[in-house]
Structure 1
Amino acid sequence: MSKHVRRIAWVSILAIAGFFALWMAIDRVLYVQQGAYLASLYQTFSDYQGTVATKRLAADNHVTFTVLDGKTTGTRAKLLTKLVDQQRTIMGHTTTMSVAGQPEQVYVGRRNNQFVGVWQRRATLFEAAPIVAWSMIIVAILGLAALLMLMQRRHRYWVGHLDKMTGNLARIEAGGVPESIILTPDSPFLAMGKQIESLHAATEDLRSKAEIRQATFGRLIDHLPLGVMLLDANRQVLLANSAMAALVGHPILEAKHDYFDDIKTYRLARMIEHTYRNQKTHHKELTMLNTQKSVDASVIALNRGTSDLQVLVILYDVTYLRQVEQMQLDFVGNVSHELKTPVTAISGFAETLLAGAKDDPQTLDQFLHIIYDESSRLTQLITDILTLSRPDSGQVQAKPVNVQALVTDALQSLKQPIAEKQLTINADVPDDLAITTVPAKFSQVVRNLLNNAVFYNRKDGVVTVTAKADEKNLKLSVQDTGIGIAENDQERIFERFYRVDKARSRHNGGTGLGLAIVHDMVLQLGGDVTLNSQLGVGSTFTVTLPLTDLPSFYKG
């Protein structure tokens, strides 16, 4: 049974009890008044006892007089005798006795040693005032009904407002807008309503600030170059950024899920499990299974010693660093190897000459030419290495350069090898074509491309140089009919010391750095270089340089 039902039951019981108490009080008043009336009739009867007037008095007032004189008989006489015998102090008082099943009120008096009883039917509210009695009953019923209706209405009022306010609190908790409630100034819920409105405003403010912080934090995490993943105590992924997705090799769901769905690398998963078990930070460098990227992995235990343990996984991509380290090792090894060849040749031929070969003029002349060629190659190698290793200078300024003049100067320096191979040179460069650039770097590009086209060309081959410009870019193409480059070698042709045919390259006097210099210089000038080649047919190198969008540190 609910509290409301119990409350209605108790109110009903109290109302009924109150009604009956009022009814009994009215009956008691009637009883007292009837007793006083019977006492007055007894006094009158005593004055006129034994006369005809007593009978008329009894008839007019609907009473019965009983005198215990030993002669009177009947029910009332017996009841009066019994009453007097039992209660000697009854004289001068009234009491109620049942006569033939009807309650009668009797007043007992004593006169001349005779007990006199004045009997009259007990006066009740229904007998004295039936309209008033029925009116009281109807009013009581209507009043009880009105009271119950008022209680029910009040109950609905309280329950309705409480339900609305509870619903508003739930909406505030869920991030929604509370329902409007109209409250009167004397409403008991007015203060609570104002507090809920204040709570809603404060919650919205906190939620707005939290969203801003979350968005800022999310943007920060997403833009970190580190892979970040946060796990809860149940090994569920709470947070992961795009860098982490790139390292594991697939998108990471935003919803909670086991980290096993993302971490497929055994060594990393074992580090995470060890962190959960011993709650210590672990650090190790490893290779990701799906992407084959080298990462510096740190697995950190957060909230250690509590039930809210969290694990933070941070992966730093060191693939490029390892590649650079390997490139450095390869470069040092290649430089050592390339320097060793001419130095060994110079040393060997010099030693041979010192051993006596200098006495033969023909041998001396031959060996000196070889020493000269190897020293020239060594000088060119050192120059190319210095060109690649020399950093850009902020003091270098761009200047206008005539492309045709630069091409002509470069071909003039290659006049001897061109004549030896009987090459045909086709130059399609406008006389007035000029570009604002860094002369030294652009010269390196042109000379190395022409060197490559001449040295790797076949006998009686063709070298075609084409230059043209549009509104934005200059395009310079150098085409040869040489050995060509296989497709699987084309991606690596711009690497330092990479040669398609190492033996033939050295024989042609190449250092293996020419195309690497072209690539670096073009990038520094803000341009691009592409290759189109077919093995045994020839190669075409195309350089695209901007006419206006030169890197800022080259501008005056």
Structure 2
Amino acid sequence: MSSGKEILNVLEGESIGVSGIVTGQAGKREYRVAVPLYNGKGEFLGIARLTHQLDELDSLESQLTQSVFVFSFVSIVLASFIALHLTNRVSRPLKQIETVINRISEGDYSEYYMGVDYPEIMELGNTVNKLADSLEEKNNTILQSNDRLSALLDRLIIGVVLLDSERRIEMMNPAVYQILGIDENLLAHSFLEMSKSYGLVQIIQETYQQKTNKNEEIHIYHPKERILDVNTMIIPDIRGNQMIVLLYDITEIRRLEKVRTDFVTNASHELRTPVTALKGFSEVLLDGALDNPQLLRQFLEIMYKESRRLEILVNDILDLSRAEQRQVPMKIEKIILNDAVKACFQVIKPQADEKGLKLRLLSNHPTPVVLEGDQSRLEQVLNNLIYNAVNYTDKGGKISVLLEETNEEVIFHVADTGIGIPEENLGRIFERFYRVDKGRSRNSGGTGLGLSIVRYLVQNMNGSISVKSTLGLGSTFTVRLPKSL
């Protein structure tokens, strides 16, 4: 037996000698251990060496390594499955929340998160649901406000135009199309295409350049003449300076102002004439004409005539004022229209006979035409129309009143064979103090208020009046009244 490291260790005095892993004579790995042997007296007897081949340990190590690898692989696979399961369990509700958020971003608020997995995720999902409800409510409020704003803009009689910082049209309401006579969609077009009015273009350009609001009154002549009150307002925003242009058509207002001015002027003139006559003749009488019976009677007759004219004028002005403000008291009663026309004929017959005019009553109905209303006001309308016809018809002419009746209304036409009305005057004959033939109406004692009073009285009776005329051939006034007020 060859000595080895383990023997040398024992010989050197160690209680146990080991060789470690060494290769034996057979070429196999071995592990040797040596210990000293003593007798009962403590005398050294020898050395005992144990040798163990490591083939079994190598096999056990290989098995152990395989077992560890298999266990590790199984553990990794199992952990992966567990991690995947946990990830899916967490990601599934998160994906649901993501889907809800995407739907919200697209404006669809019908999707809700309904998961019950984790308290934290449930809390997040409930927050998203609350956010969806809040956004839906606010979006509905905005939509309702936009609908109300659109409806308001569509019904405004004021034109509203919104221009962006590049002076392009972003929005315009229907009133703009009507006021400016536009018949095409000009959104995203330059404001220069909106109107050919130099005044409007200049106001908008100056507002952009000076960045100050402006208000001016301008005239436009295309497609028809109008007077506009233009307001421009700068609205700063993140994209630059926008502008709102407000267009208010004040053509009718200015016309009415002119009518009122003309009314005051004409009324002053009409009142001044009889007042001046009364004053002048009174002064003459006071200066000594009272002693001349012939002059006294002549002047008194003139003064009576002028005072009567003044009385008629004042009464007509008062009647017109009450009729215009719908303050004329109406006594509702049954009216036989045929009888009312005949009564008017009797009043006007002396003037008609004096001019040799023929008065005719015609009807398309076999029985008398009946309606409800105020007979005195209706006779006032008839008297004015028939009186005008007599006044503007030359000797030998005809005045005809034609009665018609439908299920809902009665219609009467007052036609004459007189001088007629020029076409350019037809739109103004109902204006106060407007006369087609000023000399003829003044000579006949007319105030120029009769047709204005007629128009307002007819309106007070919920009716309408119109006129047709041919110059030199005559005129026809048509009044339509409901059978019952």
Whether these two folds match at TM > 0.5 is yes
Q: Distance in 2 between matches of 1:419 and 1:234?
A: 76
- Residues 427-447 of structure 1: CA deviation (Å, up to 9, x unaligned): 136885443222332222010
Residue of structure 2 equivalent to 1:329: 261
- 2:336 maps to 1:407: no
Separation in 2, partners of 1:181, 1:281: 51
User: Are residues 1:525 and 2:457 paired?
Assistant: no
2:285 and 2:115 map into 1 onto residues whose CA distance is 116
Distance 1:353 1:524, change over 3 A: same
* 1:199 pairs with 2:131: yes
1:431-510 correspondence runs (5 A): 432-510=368-446
Deviations 1:352-398 (Å, cap 9, x if unpaired)?
A: 99999999999998887766655554443333223212344375432
How far did residue 144 of structure 1 move? Answer: 3.2
Contact 1:67 1:114 in 2 (8 A): no
The amino acid across from 2:388 in the alignment is N
Indicate how the Cα distance of structure 1 residues 163 and 366 shifts in structure 2: closer, same or farther if over 3 A, else same: same
**Alignment deviations for residues 60-80 of structure 1 (CA, whole Å, 9 cap, x no partner):** xxxxxx524xxxxxxxxxxx7
Residue 302 of structure 1: CA displacement?
5.6
SS class of match (2:399): strand
The Cα RMSD (Å) is 4.8
Distance 1:269 1:99, change over 3 A: farther
Q: 1:342·1:374 contact (CA, 8 Å) conserved in 2?
A: yes
Shift of 1:504: 3.3
Count residues with an aligned counterpart: 467
Match of 2:331 in 1: 397
Distance 1:394 1:426 in 2: 30
3-state SS of paired residue (2:98): helix
Residue 334 of structure 1 and its aligned partner are, at CA, apart by: 2.5
Aligned partner letter, 1:422 = G
State the AA in 2 paired with 1:535.
Answer: L
What is the Cα deviation at residue 499 of structure 1? Answer: 2.6
Question: 1 CA distance for matches of 2:474 and 2:19?
Answer: 147
Q: 1:287-327 deviations in whole A, cap 9, x for unaligned? A: 467575444444445679x8887655545443333222111
CA distance in 2, matches of 1:103, 1:236: 100
2:146 paired with 1:210 = no
2:485 maps to 1:539: no
TM-score by length of 2: 0.75
Quick check: 2:93–2:115 contact (8 Å CA) kept in 1? no
Match runs of 1:143-162 below 5 Å: 143-148=75-80, 150-152=82-84, 154-155=86-87, 158-159=90-91, 161-162=93-94
Q: Which runs of 5+ in 2 are unaligned?
A: 37-43
1:422 to 353, 356, 370: 356
Q: Specify the SS of the correspondent of 1:427.
A: strand
Q: Which residue of 2 aligns with 1:320?
A: 252
Q: Could you tell me which residue of structure 2 aligns to residue 174 of structure 1? A: 106
Between the aligned residues of both structures, percent identity stands at 31
Maintained 8 Å contact 1:96/1:103: no
Q: Determine the C-alpha separation between the residues in 1 that align with 2:185 and 2:205.
A: 21
How is 1:49-448 mapped onto 2 (pairs within 5 angstroms)?
67-68=3-4, 92-93=17-18, 95=20, 104=29, 106-107=31-32, 109=34, 118=51, 120-121=53-54, 127-128=59-60, 133-134=65-66, 136-148=68-80, 150-152=82-84, 154-155=86-87, 158-159=90-91, 161-177=93-109, 179=111, 183-186=115-118, 189-224=121-156, 226-229=158-161, 241-243=173-175, 246-250=178-182, 262=194, 267=199, 281-287=213-219, 292-301=225-234, 311-340=243-272, 376-390=308-322, 391-393=325-327, 396-428=330-362, 432-448=368-384
Counterpart of 2:140, as a letter, is S
The answer to whether the 8 Å contact 2:398/2:416 transfers is yes
Q: Give 3-state SS (helix, strand or coil) of 1:499's partner.
A: coil
Query: What SS does the aligned partner of 1:425 have?
Result: strand
Cα displacement (A) at 1:543: 0.8
User: Could you tell which deviates more after superposition, 462-471 or 440-449?
Assistant: 462-471
Q: 1:158 to 1:275 in 2, by over 3 A?
A: farther
**Counterpart-to-counterpart distance in 2, 1:431 and 1:178:** 71
Q: Show CA shifts across 1:466-487 (max 9, x none).
A: 2243332121221111112233
Single out whichever of 263-272 and 511-520 deviates more from structure 2. Answer: 263-272
Distance 1:458 1:388 in 2: 28
* TM-score normalised by L of structure 1: 0.67
Distance 1:107 1:234, change over 3 A: farther
Does the CA contact (< 8 Å) of 1:247 and 1:288 recur in 2?
no
Q: Partner of 1:540: helix, strand, or coil?
A: strand
**Residue in structure 2 matched with residue 14 of structure 1 by the alignment:** none
Any idea what the Cα deviations from partners look like across 1:24-63, whole Å, max 9, x if unmatched? xxxxxxxxxxxxxxxxxxxxxxxxxx5xxxxxxxxxxxxx
Unmatched tracts of structure 1, length 5 or more: 1-49, 51-65, 69-79, 551-556
In 2: Cα distance, 1:313 partner to 1:196 partner: 42
- Per the TM alignment, residue 174 of structure 1 is displaced from its structure 2 partner at its CA by 2.8
From the superposition, tell whether residues 325 and 274 of structure 1 become closer, same or farther in structure 2 (CA, over 3 Å).
Answer: same
Q: Secondary structure at the match of 2:259?
A: helix
- Please give the alpha-carbon distance, in whole angstroms, between the structure 2 residues aligned to 1:157 and 1:264: 69
Letter in 2 for 1:505: S
C-alpha distance in structure 1 between counterparts of 2:416 and 2:328, whole Å: 36
Structure 1 residues 422, 362: CA separation in 2 closer, same or farther (over 3 Å shift)?
farther
Separation of aligned partners in 1, 2:84 and 2:280: 119
Give the CA deviation at 1:449: 0.6
Deviation at 1:464, TM superposition (A): 1.0
Distance 2:180 2:89 in 1: 60
State the secondary structure of the residue aligned to 1:477: strand
**TM superposition shift of 1:157:** 5.3
Check whether the contact 1:288–1:294 (CA below 8 A) recurs between aligned residues: yes
3-state SS, counterpart of residue 491 of structure 1: helix
Q: What is the CA-CA distance between 1:450 and the residue it aligns to?
A: 0.5
| Cα 1:196/1:259, change in 2 over 3 Å | farther
Task: Identify the residue that residue 76 of structure 1 maps to in structure 2.
Answer: none
Deviation at 1:419, TM superposition (A): 1.3
